[in-house]
Amino acid sequence: MPNARHAGAPSWYRAALSVPYSDETVEVDGCPIHYLTWGETGRRGLLFVHGGGAHAHWWTHVAARYASRYRVAAIDLSGHGDSGRREQYSLEGWTDEVMAVVEASGMSGKPVVVGHSMGGFVTIATSARFPDALAGAVVCDSPVSAPDPEIDAHRMGQAFGKPRPYESREVALERFRTVPPQEHYLDYVMADVGWNSVMQDGDGWRWKFDHLAFTAFEENPRVAARPYLPKITCRLALLASECGLVNEEVGTYMYDLMGRVNPVIEIPLAGHHLMLDQPLLLIAALNTLLADWDHSEPRKRE
């Protein structure tokens, strides 16, 4: 609920965080998977997937805006947020978790899945592995590229720093940073995202995500979703942040892999973490895609 962290936040943001939601859990291959839900059961579904090291509450101020029209869910992938940890993680295992939440959350018909960054890789793989299960997918600044030895899972894990406890939540939050960093953030969004990123563990506080989660990628995380892109048959749109990781070259590469039938749409001024600096532009793009997909026929691959 809105509180002192929302000082200076606009009314639309405070209203979004006032929308009632539920904390739910489903077990997938022996691991408890936590997710948030908004809206009435039995409606068509909209599922949000966070990026690496993040959690479901990164999406709260976006997801809640759809509660009056959809059954909405935001997942904590295993090794993230309030979900359990695994001895071994995999991209395919995370797609199974996404589909388990779709089934357990009370959605009707085929949902649309929205994934950011690493969650975009999960969304791509889900779309390919379950071709008849989704109405569409939206991938937010998830750069799929050719193999590059300079970018690998080891470096990705190192970027988040070594696990360590902090003496208080406040001390931990002073060190809260996004990976990669970007030039602009909305302070009130960052305050909530950071608050939900830590948990008390013994006498100290630690980040919720498991640093070993990045072992899901054997080499380059940007290559992991590459084999799946040509296999996607449902609707898919790529949202590229203007100041993010999907530049024109990467966008063209992905457009070609997708058979040149799925749109690549630039979100102006947005950094890689577009829900943290340009959430209203993100919401406008999602609204446009969802409305168009309700009233048009998809282009087919040649």
Q: Please check whether residue 296 lies inside any domain of the structure.
A: no
CB within 8 Å of 86: residues ≥ 6 apart: 31, 78, 79, 93
Structure-token pair, residue 188: 């009130």
Q: Please check whether residue 298 lies inside any domain of the structure.
A: no
Does pLDDT of 86 surpass 80? Answer: yes
Give the pLDDT mean for 47-76: 98
Per-residue confidence (pLDDT) for residue 124, from 0 to 100: 98
**What does each C-alpha distance from 200 to 19, 84, 147, 189 come to in angstroms?**
26, 15, 39, 22
Per-residue confidence (pLDDT) for residue 152, from 0 to 100: 54
Strand partners, 166: 205
Per-residue confidence (pLDDT) for residue 7, from 0 to 100: 80
Query: In Å, how far from its chain's centre is CA 132?
Result: 21
**Domain total in the chain:** 1
Structure-token pair, residue 93: 């295992």
Per-residue confidence (pLDDT) for residue 84, from 0 to 100: 98
Q: Please check whether residue 195 lies inside any domain of the structure.
A: yes
Q: Please check whether residue 299 lies inside any domain of the structure.
A: no
Are 44 and 98 a contacting pair, CB within 8 Å?
Answer: no
Q: Please check whether residue 223 lies inside any domain of the structure.
A: yes
Q: Please check whether residue 6 lies inside any domain of the structure.
A: no
Q: Please check whether residue 5 lies inside any domain of the structure.
A: no
pLDDT digits (tens, 9 = 90+) for 135-165: 999 999 999 987 765 555 555 556 676 778 9
In degrees, to the nearest 5, what angle opens at C-alpha 34 toward C-alphas 14 and 221? 95
Domain that holds residue 30: 11-291
Q: Please check whether residue 106 lies inside any domain of the structure.
A: yes
Looking at the chain, how many residues does it have? 302
- Secondary structure (3-state) at 291: helix
Per-residue confidence (pLDDT) for residue 2, from 0 to 100: 47
Give the pLDDT mean for 62-81: 98
Per-residue confidence (pLDDT) for residue 156, from 0 to 100: 57
Q: What is the mean pLDDT of the chain?
A: 93
In degrees, to the nearest 5, what angle opens at C-alpha 118 toward C-alphas 28 and 50? 65
CB within 8 Å of 87: residues ≥ 6 apart: none
- Give residue for tokens 């909405």: 72
Q: Which of 279, 277, 57 is nearest to 186 (CA)?
A: 277
Give the pLDDT mean for 206-226: 89
Does pLDDT of 207 surpass 50? Answer: yes
Per-residue confidence (pLDDT) for residue 112, from 0 to 100: 98
Are 33 and 99 a contacting pair, CB within 8 Å?
Answer: no
pLDDT digits (tens, 9 = 90+) for 174-198: 999 999 999 999 999 999 999 999 9
- Kindly give the residue spans of alpha helices, DSSP state H, lying in 149-278: 153-159, 169-174, 187-195, 221-224, 248-257, 274-277
Per-residue confidence (pLDDT) for residue 134, from 0 to 100: 98
Per-residue confidence (pLDDT) for residue 158, from 0 to 100: 61
**What does each C-alpha distance from 243 to 27, 183, 267, 273 come to in angstroms?**
38, 9, 9, 10
The domain that contains 162 carries what CATH number? Answer: 3.40.50.1820
- What is the helix (H) or strand (E) element at residue 13, kind and residue range? helix 11-18
pLDDT digits (tens, 9 = 90+) for 96-105: 999 999 999 9
